[in-house]
Amino acid sequence: MKKAVRIFWRLFIGGFAAFILLIMLANFGVFGKMPSIYDLQNPSILQASEVYAQDGTLMGKYYTERGNRSNVKYRDISRHVVDALVATEDERFYSHSGIDFKSTMRAVFTLGTEGGGSTITQQLALNLFNERASNRAIRVVQKLKEWIIAVKLEKNFTKEEIITLYLNAVPFGNNIYGIRNASRTFFQKEPDRLNVEEAALLIGMLKGNSIYNPVRNPKAALDRRNTVIGQMEVNGKITSADAVRLKALPIKLNYKKLDENTGYAPYFREILKDEIKEALKDVEKPDGGTYTIYNDGLKIYTTINIQMQQYAEEALAQQMTMLQKGINARSDMKNGTVWKGHEKLLEKAIKESDRWKNLEEDGLSDKEIRASFNVKVPMKVFAWNNKREKDTSMTPLDSIKYHLQMEQAGFMAMDPVTGEVRAWVGGISFKTYKNDHVNLKTKRQVGSTIKPLLYTQAMEERGFTPQTECENVAQFFPGSGWVPAGKQCGGGSISMADALAFSKNCATAYIMKQVGPKQFSEFLSRLNIPTPVQPYPSIALGTCDLSMYEMLWAYTIFAGRGFSTKPYAISRIEDRNGNVIKRFDYSVNRKEAVSEVTAYTMARMMQGTVDKGTAKFMRANVGAAEMGGKTGTTDDNADAWFIGYTPQLLAGSWVGFEYTFMRNQGDGSRIARPITEIFFKKVLADKKSGIEKDAKFIKPAELENEINSADIIISDSDPTPGAEGLDQGVGTEEDYQINNNDYIGPESTPVKEDDNKTPAKKDTVSKAAVRKDDNETKPIGAAADDPKKKKGLLKRLFDKKEKN
């Protein structure tokens, strides 16, 4: 008997020692890295980064599946949620120190048939630092690590903070993470407004977010909800009468899945990603890691003006709806002959489609896949309506043709003096068309919009004035031939002011001959345009490919008093606690390119275009005191441009097809100009926009009493009408727009903001979160000042002092 007792105690003590050793080894990272003290005090709950407009309006978020969450404070969680959670998941939550040995032993002896043994704190440890292992042996080690982390979490956080961290981290299925997103998705309300039955439904989903999803499995979800209500009754959180009443209620949802495409300026937010990544590549987190836009809960403050963004999208939709009606009526579009000779492009589009890739993964042969593209199927396609889509039935091949036959557009607006981007519309529908037609990488031939830059150099370096006479005949360039080639010129001569206003190609070729192709190419480089422009004579007529972004950058010299100013869109970036981690100083992006006198003279001369020239009546239509602008059209009407500006605002629009052979039905004045014109009309009519109708270009001191607008003489009509055939549109506003009574709103949609208020704008730069005073609200993750804790064996074992 004594021998048996000795064996028992040896086994017991040996087993206990082995258990303690195992825990110690796990604690010191033998079985895998353990979170540091910093990690525990600043738990990395994946959190979406948020993009804000100039006025603090939430524009949208960046997130991965697990990062799609918005954190919430404890005070903003319904008490019913907390009661349901504790009653169901961890009845002794407020009395244990991270590990509930009673529940653990019960789970061991019943093999989990009467519930698991994990406390809320252990589940939090799993959600924060691990993913549940499928291998049983690995899961045992993982369980030990959870115990250790749970004890450490209990040391560093109050019970309320642990509840908050847990509810911010847990998954509710279908890529929904955190109580706030779950509450918004299933009930369209904030979590502090959840009633008992709603709270019980959401907490019930935590046992199995797919099995108990009320959308997919309403009966199972109802049963699980009632189980939670029963647990709340047992734990004294509700009365028996309330439990009976609540269990009898049906599930009432207001389900609406959060859409990553919602928000303001979707094209802009997509392009912004790369700029943010570049800006943060050398910024270290307090733990030495690097910030990521998808997980770190950053706040990115931009220069976008929400109202101007809305106006820009409305203007683009208004014009493009009308233009597409004309495109759809074209015989070559209706009968498909537009694709004759371009069949290879169609085949390329077919093989690059998602349908082809999916069927290929399913194991179908190329022949089978290709045949499927000729079979009609139900689908959603882009359409010019408020939803930007419609339901229809067509073959996948016809769908590809249909979408490629949609005319595309791009628009951007900015402050020409500071460089702040105010509006950005990269295309007609971000949901359907991801190609951004504004950004630096998307380049098209710019046509006559480049002419003002050539005229500027002639004025700055060759002594030209607005009244300098220019030969209006084709010019011969040795080694290059005639420019413009094959064009009928009006002959004789024409003033430089008239040549610009009426966009005369032959006179422009004459000016190029005086400046020189090499010198003009170098001048464009001095304007800081990133894309190198080769020194061919034809670049005088805009045969080079540049982006909208670059063209507006170049045009800043006119209203910017001779300074070339790079467009910028980010003012600062904050971490999840509101500390500024990156501030942007863009004063270095302003570079003097031409004299203030030249810039002012060009701005006044360019008013001829919007008063009498190829954009006649535009200034009067928008109501601006002073304005400049230029139309642009490329060969065969492949690209249509218009760039215009007042002293306070610069904007440009482009219209064309993805494939240039489809051609626009008109020039820049008739096709692109209306977008910019409608935009300016809306902005100048809005007194809250900050853009003044009566604003005038600042006259340099050198020109006082020497020059005014009357000194720049522009002919009332084209001196050589119809001679060149490009950018010759002249008429009233009605001549440029077909009457369109169907209002189509902007693509942008508001995003629900956290706490329903504008986020605080702090300027405190810090590498680490700073603890707040007792009378202030502590951020999630801040340790309690003096938590009253029970210290059990494991807690004393791992009770390490905090490092300063």
Q: Which of 774, 726, 657 is nearest to 323 (CA)?
A: 657
Question: What burial letters (b/e) apply to 204-232, b meaning 16+ CB within 10 Å?
Answer: bbbeebeebbbeeeeebbbebbbbbbbbb
Q: What confidence score (pLDDT) does residue 735 get?
A: 41
Among 274-278, 320-324, 786-790, name the one with the lowest average pLDDT: 786-790
**CA within 13 Å, CB half, 206:** 26
Local structure of residue 66 (DSSP, 8 states): T
Residue 580 vs residues 40, 42, 761: alpha-carbon distances, Å: 23, 17, 9
Total-model pTM: 0.75
Query: What angle do helix axes 196-205 and 179-187 make, rounded to 10 degrees?
Result: 120
Q: What is the pLDDT of residues 653-666, one digit of tens each?
A: 999 999 999 999 89
Q: Is the pLDDT of residue 64 over 80?
A: no
Mean pLDDT of 263-277: 94
* Residue 11 binned pLDDT confidence (cut-offs 50, 70, 90): low
Please give the span between the terminal C-alpha atoms of the chain, in angstroms, as a whole number.
55
Q: From CA 239, how far away is CA 458, in angstroms rounded?
A: 87
Among 466-475, 594-603, 780-789, name the one with the lowest average pLDDT: 780-789
Query: What angle do helix axes 451-461 and 517-526 make, rounded to 10 degrees?
Result: 100
Among 49-53, 148-152, 156-160, name the one with the lowest average pLDDT: 148-152
At a CB cut-off of 8 Å and minimum separation 6, what does 67 contact? 46, 47, 48, 177, 294, 295
Q: From CA 536, how far away is CA 519, in angstroms rounded?
A: 11
Q: What confidence score (pLDDT) does residue 137 get?
A: 52
Q: What confidence score (pLDDT) does residue 24 get?
A: 58
Q: Is 374 exposed, middle or buried (0-12, 13-18, 19+ CB in 10 A)?
A: exposed
Q: Is the pLDDT of residue 755 over 50?
A: no
Question: Do 447 and 508 form a contact (C-beta atoms < 8 A)?
Answer: no
Number of H helices, E strands in the chain: 30, 20
Q: What confidence score (pLDDT) does residue 295 get?
A: 81
φ, ψ (nearest 5 deg) of residue 797: -65, -40
Among 465-469, 535-539, 719-723, name the one with the lowest average pLDDT: 719-723
* Three-point CA angle 160, 165, 167, nearest 5°: 95
Q: Is the pLDDT of residue 48 over 50?
A: yes
Q: What confidence score (pLDDT) does residue 135 get?
A: 52
* Residue 16 binned pLDDT confidence (cut-offs 50, 70, 90): low
Q: Is the pLDDT of residue 126 over 90?
A: no
Q: Which of 526, 365, 529, 386 is nearest to 460 (CA)?
A: 526
Q: Is 647 exposed, middle or buried (0-12, 13-18, 19+ CB in 10 A)?
A: buried
* Amino acid identity, position 248: A
Q: From CA 226, how far away is CA 216, in angstroms rounded?
A: 17
Q: What confidence score (pLDDT) does residue 728 get?
A: 47
* Residue 65 binned pLDDT confidence (cut-offs 50, 70, 90): low
Q: From CA 745, how far away is CA 313, in angstroms rounded?
A: 8
Q: From CA 179, how far away is CA 168, in angstroms rounded?
A: 6
Question: Do 739 and 319 form a contact (C-beta atoms < 8 A)?
Answer: no
Mean pLDDT of 703-710: 61
Q: What confidence score (pLDDT) does residue 71 get?
A: 80
At a CB cut-off of 8 Å and minimum separation 6, what does 600 contact? 561, 697, 698, 699, 700, 703
Mean pLDDT of 304-326: 96
Question: What percent of the chain lies above the pLDDT cut of 90?
Answer: 59
H-helix or E-strand spanning residue 445:
strand 444-445
Q: Which of 141, 155, 147 is nearest to 100 (CA)?
A: 147
Q: Is the pLDDT of residue 410 over 90?
A: yes
Cis peptide before 396 (omega within 30 of 0): no
Q: What is the pLDDT of residues 608-650, one digit of tens each?
A: 999 999 999 999 999 999 999 999 999 999 999 999 999 999 9
Q: What is the pLDDT of residues 424-461, one digit of tens each?
A: 999 999 989 999 999 999 999 999 999 999 999 999 99
Other beta carbons less than 10 A from residue 574's beta carbon = 26
* Amino acid identity, position 703: L
**CA within 13 Å, CB half, 392:** 12
Question: Do 704 and 643 form a contact (C-beta atoms < 8 A)?
Answer: no
Mean pLDDT of 243-270: 88
- Please spell the DSSP secondary structure of 388-423, one letter per residue: S-EEEEE-HHHHHHHHHTSPEEEEEEE-TTT-BEEE
Mean pLDDT of 321-339: 93
Local structure of residue 778 (DSSP, 8 states): P
Higher pLDDT among residues 768 and 255, named by residue: 255
Q: What is the pLDDT of residues 189-208, one digit of tens each?
A: 999 999 999 999 999 999 98
The SS3 of residue 368 is: helix
Q: What confidence score (pLDDT) does residue 39 get?
A: 59
Q: What confidence score (pLDDT) does residue 680 get?
A: 98
Q: From CA 311, how far away is CA 33, in angstroms rounded?
A: 52
**Residue for token digits 């791992």?**
798
Question: What burial letters (b/e) apply to 480-518, b meaning 16+ CB within 10 Å?
Answer: eeebbeebebbeebbbbbbbbbbbbbbbbbbbbbbbbbe
State whether the Cα torsion 51-55-58-60 is positive or negative.
Answer: negative
Q: What is the pLDDT of residues 477-524, one digit of tens each?
A: 998 888 887 777 878 899 999 999 999 999 999 999 999 999 999 999
Residue 203 vs residues 1, 83, 139, 214: alpha-carbon distances, Å: 52, 10, 25, 12
Q: What is the pLDDT of residues 81-102, one digit of tens each?
A: 999 999 998 888 888 866 765 6
* Amino acid identity, position 182: A
Question: What percent of the chain lies above the pLDDT cut of 70?
Answer: 78
Q: From CA 196, how far away is CA 202, in angstroms rounded?
A: 10
Among 109-123, 513-527, 562-576, name the one with the lowest average pLDDT: 109-123
* Residue 41 binned pLDDT confidence (cut-offs 50, 70, 90): low
